[in-house]
Structure 1
């Protein structure tokens, strides 16, 4: 028979539970003589020895004294060594349990509650002593794990009552801060007191935890899909939407504006307004781009199953209703959203935007009003923030974090789809390639249609449609169909889209159009939309996508590094910040065109090059000193608030890929030419890229230095 079962203490001793709001009941007393006789006679030896050991430990007997006492109770046929081998684990267990005694009173815990106060039962050789720790009773009722999908934190929900019966407020405290008791004055003020002494604070925290029996629960601080007991649920502020409906027992805590991601329970008639809603969005803007926005809203919800690597940028000047339109799209996630209330705006820090985009999992996250205004540093910061957010979305990557313990935590990556609005378009060719840019012109928005959509949003019709779509999506996911449905819709769309432009453009547009495809499939299965209507909306969506592709090609071209370089080069020369010389280093033909200025009287004219000499014009070619040119252009672009930050090699490569550069040999973007009597490695571009003028040949003047041909180096 094993005598090392520590759990036997609880079964045998039947610890006395003291109600905190009632007087203490009499403790269980132990008659050592009777118990010893029973053990010696072999009656329940194990149980009786456990009781005796507990009493000896509580009395303060040393290990040697206990060995002597236990040895006297050795059963016939056993040796004292065998008895002590069985008893010593009991002694260790009893000491760990913290048995206390008052006279011959046996108590399992070293902490007791009495009249809504907590006491420490301290035992010494002189006897037990009760020390009051608090003038209140406190209990942890919930032990909550809060998760955002990467980070987990634990909180305790604490309730309490003063010794006079006055209730104390309920509050939450981080588990790792509980033992410090700093939450005590913050939440309960001066009336809740702890006995003076640093050691007693530790006892108070230990006593509350020991005497509590908290209910464990999990709370989600993000939206989107989770796997709950093998079934997919979509989290909103009200709970989790599954194929079976809304489960309000799934707890969420969405902070700030995220709490308005609040969807109703799915119902039988939730999709009956599908045709009406799509028709309104089709008519909303002249070119039908409203349908692409709807596609973005519904495609975003499926990011769990296939990530969205595209953002949508709604661009337009003041008065184009871009914010009001984005409010209607955001209202698919909750009726409280509108043009005056959106999840985020560009005035927030990039860290805040990243964190919120991470928490808005499988949803559209609107960032309103991108306007690059102010000082050069403020403008640069605005574009830098936009680049950081859009790159994180497009690349599905971000910056890992190093916390105070030097532990590396994962990056906060956007897990849905970002919808941004603004008057300005963020800088950068590759950055804009990660966005679908929808430009709205003044007068293109139908205000009566917009009003109708806003009314549907207030009535929760948009959110109700989304709720039913998500319930359908959960059912598809539970049956392992959703990924194949998304892939099929994406492939179907991409075949119908233009092949020109940036390589990512077709994929970006296919992501949006596939959202419409899946919404229409959902409506068809429910019988809420006809085949004829489906074909109509598909054709309208593809037509809108084609127009967007054409517009984006022009935007991408303007934003490319090569085009920006040429534009800044032209402007720098025109404004006198730089000039080009002829191959002799002197004034070229049409000097004012190439940055030269003539001053003085007709009899005493002086012509000089303005700013920095950045190259030479020879025939129909321009030989650029790239380092000199970039030093001028980078300064010039910074003053304009649109800094050209690319390296010399990146600019040369961009010029070559755009067909603007004469390349000499494989892997080389420079040519070696003779200018001003020396050999130079130059970047060669055509004159026609800068100026549309006729080339005028002239003979060298007497002032020109002769060109040294056939130089030996």
Structure 2
């Protein structure tokens, strides 16, 4: 007969309390190496033989007692060095910087793992970042326990360090005041500091890095040398003035945004890229072979970089839409997207898969674009200051001196000093600069300057305001005297006025109404269409030499010796002779004229994109239509009027014959 077992309660009361888990910390970094007898214990996890393990109570074989055993989770140890908050100016993303060591001593290099990837139930981050080097034992429970083990182990010495890394440059308001971020840290009113972490990613964006502030005498000398930029194109001083104004204005974008760009265009070999690189060299280690962006970049990449380059000059190099028609259309579409991003200070709206709105990058720089062609459309040109760099325009000795100063870091050093000077004044500029720009803009409008586009006075005022601030800095630095500063500012203003006066020609080239008339004339001269007599549909009763311009060609003579003419192509309209006191008219058939012009433009590789109704309204607004009539319903001017043509009443556009025959 078996012995009577004691009650369960007596067994529990007689049990000895379990000893607390012992934590033995030996070694550092990723943990113990191969063959180490050291054991690190933390909670139900620990390290044995250089690998993470989990401790569990197990029932002994053949009995009811339990003993503790260890189960390996992986073949390595690792530690979260720090938690990184990556701020890109739109949102923040969290990363865990993890490094480790395999049990056989093979190091696992530091990697930045997104927090979301680390805490996901899939638990595949180790192989995602270290490849086949680590091994994790199968099972979801193993992965969950490994994640908890790493987190506990990383916090043995206290909370995991946490820091913020900025992924953009430019002004940022910190607790201590305004600081200008760049690839090497930040600049404040005390000078250069490396306590701020900035990560601009791979590629040439990492070249946005500024040196320590030079001595006052060296900075003054660099300031005097920087003024050579005004002499880089002696025959076109407006180019140098615009570039120096861009350098001065870009760091002030925090106070008042730059919603325009400078477009340097010219034939290949005109050294426009080398000139643009001088302006860019004030913001880092740049030259004509290391621009931060070019036109082969994707749209999203270019927008993201322009957002990163906050309060700095940002160069996009080599707009050259001439490889093929399809490629040219893509380039022009890309240019339109980027320029509108700049002008509107807004990116393209996006939605997540669950239709939530997301923040999108937009340009926060002052962009300089080098190109061999102009963008299409008046609207885009209105957001630009276009400057042509001709092949004989750049002065080589001056360019060489400026390039040498850029290589020696003098330009970047001067910018560091400028930013240090601006830092304690940023709050004041955020209040005053918009007011100054508004006053300068109103003055330009009042004086009839910069009339090429409604945006032009604002762009002019913005550049001049930047120069005023920069020359004030140079004066305080001792690089120029007060009198020299005033003379230089007057010289730059005069040059910029000339630059904006030239914008009229660019606008005229892209004026849709003028282009429509030019294409009509070209279509008639090429023999693709003609203008008929409104009475008999024959050749207009005008001088023989003018018939050619109206789409008629010599067809010899009839039996009686009378000259005959042959019409070419479709009929676009009709010629109407008036009495001697008024000018002759041409009545265009709207649909035929518009369709023919669109086809002719498309065949040239430069499509005509304005709708017919918009085109007619613009022609009426500019006074190109001699006759309009009020709409019966709205009372607004209607561009087409009724006219009797060969016994039929048709609606036509009435233009002067002179505008079609000779322009």
TM-score bracket, normalised by the shorter chain, equals 0.7 to 0.9
Per the alignment, residue 119 of structure 1 pairs with: 53
Q: How does 1:246-265 map to 2 (within 5 A)?
A: 246-255=192-201, 256-265=203-212
Q: Is the 8 A contact 1:18 1:112 kept in 2?
A: no
Q: Note closer, same or farther for the CA distance 1:405–1:239 as it changes in structure 2 (3 Å cut).
A: farther
Distance in 2 of aligned mates of 1:202 and 1:607: 91
- Of residues 502, 505, 517, the one that matches 2:456 is 505
Taking the aligned partners of 2:137 and 2:452, their CA distance within structure 1 comes to 74
CA distance in 2, matches of 1:398, 1:618: 51
Deviation at 1:257, TM superposition (A): 0.9
Corresponding residue for residue 15 of structure 2: none
| Contact 1:387-1:431 at 8 Å conserved across structures | yes
Residues matched between the structures, number: 599
Give the drift of 1:361. 0.9
Q: Is the 8 A contact 1:376 1:638 kept in 2?
A: no
The reply on whether 1:488 has 2:458 as its aligned counterpart is no
1:563, CA displacement in angstroms?
1.1
> Per-residue displacement from partner, 1:13-45 (whole Å, max 9, x unpaired)?
987434243756799xxxxxxxxxxxxxxxxxx
> Which position in structure 1 is the counterpart of 2:572?
614
The CA distance in 1 between the partners of 2:538 and 2:127, in whole Å, is: 81
Distance 1:569 1:208 in 2: 75
In structure 2, the residue matched to 1:325 is: 275
Q: Does 1:272 align with 2:190?
A: no
Q: Which moved more, 1:391-400 or 1:116-125?
A: 116-125
Taking the aligned partners of 2:438 and 2:312, their CA distance within structure 1 comes to 18
CA separation of 1:608 and 1:247: change in aligned 2, threshold 3 A:
same
Quote how far apart the aligned CAs of 1:218 are: 0.9
Residue 342 of structure 1 is matched in structure 2 by 291
Q: How has the CA–CA distance of structure 1 residues 677 and 210 changed in structure 2, closer, same or farther, with 3 Å as cutoff? A: farther
Question: Could you list the runs of 5+ residues in structure 1 that have no partner in the other structure?
Answer: 1-12, 28-107, 694-713
3-state DSSP of counterpart to 2:638: coil
Greater displacement, 502-511 / 264-273? 264-273
More divergent stretch after superposition (236-245 vs 170-179): 170-179
In structure 1, the partner of 2:242 is 292
List aligned pairs for 1:155-194, cutoff 5 A: 155-178=95-118, 179=120, 180-194=122-136
Counterparts of 1:119-518 in structure 2 under 5 Å?
A: 119-122=53-56, 127=66, 129-178=69-118, 179=120, 180-213=122-155, 214-255=160-201, 256-269=203-216, 271-273=219-221, 275-286=223-234, 287-289=236-238, 290-334=240-284, 336-404=285-353, 406-477=355-426, 479-485=427-433, 487-488=435-436, 491-492=439-440, 495=443, 498-518=449-469
Post-superposition CA distance 1:345-371 (Å, at most 9, x none): 122222221121111111111111212
Secondary structure in structure 2 of the residue aligned to 1:367: strand
Unaligned runs of 5+ in 2: 1-18, 26-30, 578-583, 631-635
On the 8 A contact 2:97/2:110 being kept in 1, the answer is: yes
Could you tell me which of 597, 612, 619 is aligned with 1:648?
A: 612
Match of 2:548 among 588, 592, 617: 592
Q: Displacement, 1:463? A: 0.6
Counterpart contact for 1:288–1:540, Cα < 8 Å = no
Q: Deviations over 1:365-409 (max 9, x none)?
A: 111121221322222221111111111111112211224554321
Superposed, 1:520-599 pairs within 5 Å as 520-584=471-535, 586-589=537-540, 591-597=547-553, 599=555
1:229-276 CA-partner distances (Å, limit 9, x unpaired): 151111110011111111211001112111001111223325312552
1:670 maps to which of 635, 640, 661: 640
Measure, in 2, the Cα distance between the counterparts of 1:467 and 1:595: 65
- Structure 2 Cα separation of the partners of residues 383 and 483 of structure 1: 37
Query: Are 1:278 and 1:291, in contact at CA under 8 Å, matched by a contact in 2?
Result: no
Q: 1:273 aligns to what SS in structure 2?
A: helix
Q: Find the counterpart in structure 2 of residue 45 from structure 1.
A: none
C-alpha distance in 2, partners of 1:387/1:473? 34
The SS at the match of 1:480 is helix
Query: In 1, distance between residues paired with 2:267 and 2:652?
Result: 42
2-structure distance, mates of 1:247, 1:212: 29
What TM-score does the superposition give when structure 2 sets the normalisation length?
0.85
> Closer, same or farther in 2 for the Cα pair 1:560/1:622, shift >3 Å?
same
User: What is the CA–CA distance in structure 2 between the aligned matches of 1:26 and 1:427, rounded to whole Å?
Assistant: 69
Q: Map Cα deviations across residues 254-308 of structure 1 (whole Å, 9 max, x no partner).
A: 1211100111122332531255234311211123220221111221111111111
2:590 is the counterpart of 1:626: yes
Across the aligned residues of Structure 1 and Structure 2, the Cα RMSD in angstroms comes to: 2.6
Residues 458-467 or 583-592, more deviating = 583-592
Q: Supply the distance in 2 between the matched residues of 1:554 and 1:149 (Cα, whole angstroms).
A: 39
- The separation in 2 between residues aligned to 1:667 and 1:277, in whole angstroms, is 59
> 2:633 corresponds to which residue?
none
Structure 1 window deviating more from structure 2 (636-645 vs 320-329): it is 636-645
1:635 corresponding residue in structure 2: 599
For residues 134 and 297 of structure 2, the distance between their equivalents in structure 1, rounded to whole angstroms, comes to 40
What SS is found at the alignment partner of 1:313?
A: strand
Aligned to 1:8: none
Preserved CA contact (<8 Å) 2:39 2:48: no
Q: Secondary structure at the match of 2:502?
A: helix
Structure exhibiting the larger radius of gyration computed from Cα positions? 1
Deviation at 1:545, TM superposition (A): 1.0
1:518-540 deviations in Å (ceiling 9; x for gaps)? 10011222333201111221111
Cα contact 1:358–1:415 (8 A) shared by 2: yes
How far apart, CA to CA, are the structure 2 residues paired with 1:25 and 1:643? 76
Counterpart residue number, 1:681:
651
Q: Is the 2:450–2:460 contact (alpha carbons within 8 Å) kept by the matching residues of 1?
A: no
What's the secondary structure of 1:466's corresponding residue? helix
- Over 3 Å counting, the alpha-carbon distance change for 1:199 and 1:375 in structure 2 is same
Deviation at 1:413, TM superposition (A): 0.9
**3-state DSSP class of the match of 2:112?**
strand
CA separation of 1:572 and 1:26: change in aligned 2, threshold 3 A = closer
Q: Which moved more, 1:562-571 or 1:520-529?
A: 520-529
Deviation at 1:675, TM superposition (A): 1.8
Q: Is the 8 A contact 1:257 1:343 kept in 2?
A: yes
8 A Cα contact 1:585 1:616, kept in partner: no
Cα gap change, 1:546 to 1:500, in 2 (>3 Å): same
Of 17, 28, 41, the residue aligned with 2:23 is 17
CA distance in 2: counterparts of 1:14 and 1:267, whole angstroms: 61
Q: Deviations over 1:552-576 (max 9, x none)?
A: 1111112111111111111122222
Give the Cα–Cα distance (whole angstroms) in 2 for the partners of residues 603 and 244 of structure 1: 98
Q: Is the 8 A contact 2:343 2:383 kept in 1?
A: yes
The verdict on how the C-alpha distance between 1:571 and 1:15 changes in structure 2, with shifts beyond 3 A counting, is: farther
Contact residue 226 and residue 402 of structure 2 kept, 8 A: no
Tell me the CA shift for residue 592 of structure 1.
3.2
The answer as to whether partners of 2:214 and 2:414 remain within 8 angstroms in 1 is no
